[in-house]
C-alpha cells in the first residue's frame, strides 16, 4: 500500500509508483506515459502541445541494443574488437597496427623498435587500438552502455560524428599538451565524449527526478575516472579531458541549434562534421 502524499504516482495511472516527471508541467508520469522530447521527457498532454518536438514512445526509445537499432555503436564495437583479436593472435600484426594507428606526439616516438612520425589521421585511428584486454573491455563495455541509447536519440550519422569528433578532440589534447614525443592508444577519448554528452543532457534535465538521478550517477562515475590517472600510471588523462570537452561542446551545439527543428538529425550531423573540421585544422597547426 502506498501513500500518494509521500510517494509520487503517475497522474494518469494512480496505481503506478514512479520517479519520472514531465519536464514541462512537472506532473509525475510512468514509463508508459513518458514521451521523449528534445530535452527530457514529457507527459502526453504536454507532448501534444509542443508541436515542434518529435514525440517518441519511451519504450521504443529504450530498444534493445542491436545492429538494427544502433548500427554505428555495434559496428564500432565489432571492428575494434576484431582489430584487437587480430593483434592478440599475431604479435607481428599487432606491432604493425601500433605503428600505423597509434597516436604519436610531436616530434615522434619509437614504436616496436622503429621511429614513427606524427600524422593528423592518428587522432582518429587511435580509437581502434588498445593496450590490453582490460583496456578494450572497459572501453567497449562503456560504449555498449552509453552508445546505443544516444545513437537512437540523435541518429546514427550524428552519433558517428560525435564519436569521431570526441576521439579527435582527445587526440588533439594529447598531442598539444602531452609533452614532447611519446605515443598513446585507446578509444577512451571517444568514450569520454559520450560521457560528456550525457552529462550535458543530465544537467539540462537536472530539475526532474530522473535528470537529477542521472546527473548524480554520471558525476560519481566521472569523479572515479578523474581519480584513476593519479592511482594507475600510464593513463592519458589529457586524452580523456579532450574527449569529454568535445562531447560537451557538441551536445551544447546540438541543444542550441537542433532542438525543436524538423531536420534536427541533419543539423546535428552537420555540426558534428564542422567540429571535426575545426579539430583537424588545429591538429595540422600542432604538428
In order along its 287 residues, the chain shows pLDDT tens digits of 333 345 677 788 776 667 677 777 778 887 667 776 655 677 887 776 554 444 444 444 456 777 888 999 999 999 999 999 999 999 999 999 999 999 999 999 999 999 999 999 999 999 999 999 999 999 999 999 999 999 998 999 999 999 999 999 999 999 999 888 899 999 999 999 999 999 998 888 877 777 777 777 777 877 777 776 666 667 888 999 999 999 999 999 999 999 888 899 999 999 999 999 999 999 999 98
pLDDT of 217: 78
pLDDT of 37: 63
What cell was used for 36? Answer: 521523449
What class does CATH assign to 71-286? mainly alpha
∠129-265-248 over CA atoms, to 5°?
55
Give span(s): CATH 1.20.1540.10, the chain.
Answer: 71-286
What cell was used for 285? Answer: 597547426
User: What one-character-per-residue DSSP string does 169-216 give?
Assistant: HHHHHHHHHS-SS-EE--SHHHHHHHHHHHHHHHHHTTTSHHHHHHHH
Hey, CA dihedral for 122, 128, 134, 139, is it positive or negative?
positive
What cell was used for 282? Answer: 588545429
Cis amide linkage into residue 107, ω under 30° from 0: yes
Quote the CA–CA distance of 98 and 109 in Å, as a whole number.
11
pLDDT of 158: 97
Residue with cell 590490453: 132
Amino acid at each position: 500500500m502506498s501513500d500518494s502524499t509521500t510517494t509520487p504516482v503517475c497522474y494518469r495511472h494512480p496505481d503506478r509508483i514512479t520517479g519520472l516527471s514531465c519536464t514541462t508541467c512537472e506532473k509525475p508520469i510512468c514509463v508508459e506515459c513518458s514521451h521523449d522530447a528534445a530535452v527530457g521527457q514529457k507527459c502526453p498532454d504536454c507532448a501534444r502541445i509542443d508541436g515542434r518536438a518529435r514525440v517518441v514512445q519511451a519504450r521504443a526509445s529504450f530498444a534493445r541494443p542491436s545492429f538494427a537499432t544502433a548500427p554505428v555503436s555495434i559496428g564500432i564495437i565489432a571492428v575494434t574488437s576484431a582489430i584487437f583479436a587480430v593483434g592478440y593472435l599475431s604479435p607481428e600484426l599487432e606491432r604493425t597496427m601500433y605503428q600505423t594507428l597509434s597516436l604519436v606526439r610531436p616530434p615522434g616516438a619509437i614504436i616496436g623498435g622503429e621511429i614513427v612520425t606524427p600524422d593528423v589521421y592518428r587522432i582518429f585511428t587511435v580509437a581502434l587500438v588498445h593496450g590490453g584486454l582490460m583496456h578494450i573491455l572497459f572501453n567497449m563495455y562503456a560504449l555498449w552502455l552509453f552508445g546505443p541509447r544516444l545513437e537512437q536519440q540523435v541518429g546514427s550519422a550524428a552519433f558517428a560524428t560525435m564519436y569521431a569528433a570526441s576521439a579527435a578532440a582527445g587526440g588533439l589534447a594529447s598531442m598539444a599538451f602531452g609533452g614532447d614525443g611519446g605515443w598513446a592508444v585507446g578509444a577512451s577519448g571517444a568514450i569520454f565524449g559520450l560521457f560528456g554528452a550525457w552529462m550535458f543532457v543530465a544537467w539540462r534535465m537536472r530539475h526532474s527526478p530522473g535528470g537529477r538521478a542521472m546527473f548524480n550517477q554520471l558525476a560519481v562515475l566521472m569523479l572515479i575516472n578523474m581519480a584513476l590517472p593519479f592511482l594507475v600510471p600510464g593513463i592519458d588523462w589529457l586524452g580523456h579531458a579532450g574527449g569529454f570537452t568535445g562531447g560537451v561542446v557538441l551536445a551544447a551545439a546540438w541543444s542550441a541549434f537542433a532542438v525543436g527543428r524538423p531536420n534536427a538529425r541533419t543539423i546535428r550531423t552537420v555540426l558534428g562534421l564542422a567540429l571535426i573540421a575545426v579539430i583537424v585544422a588545429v591538429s595540422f597547426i600542432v604538428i
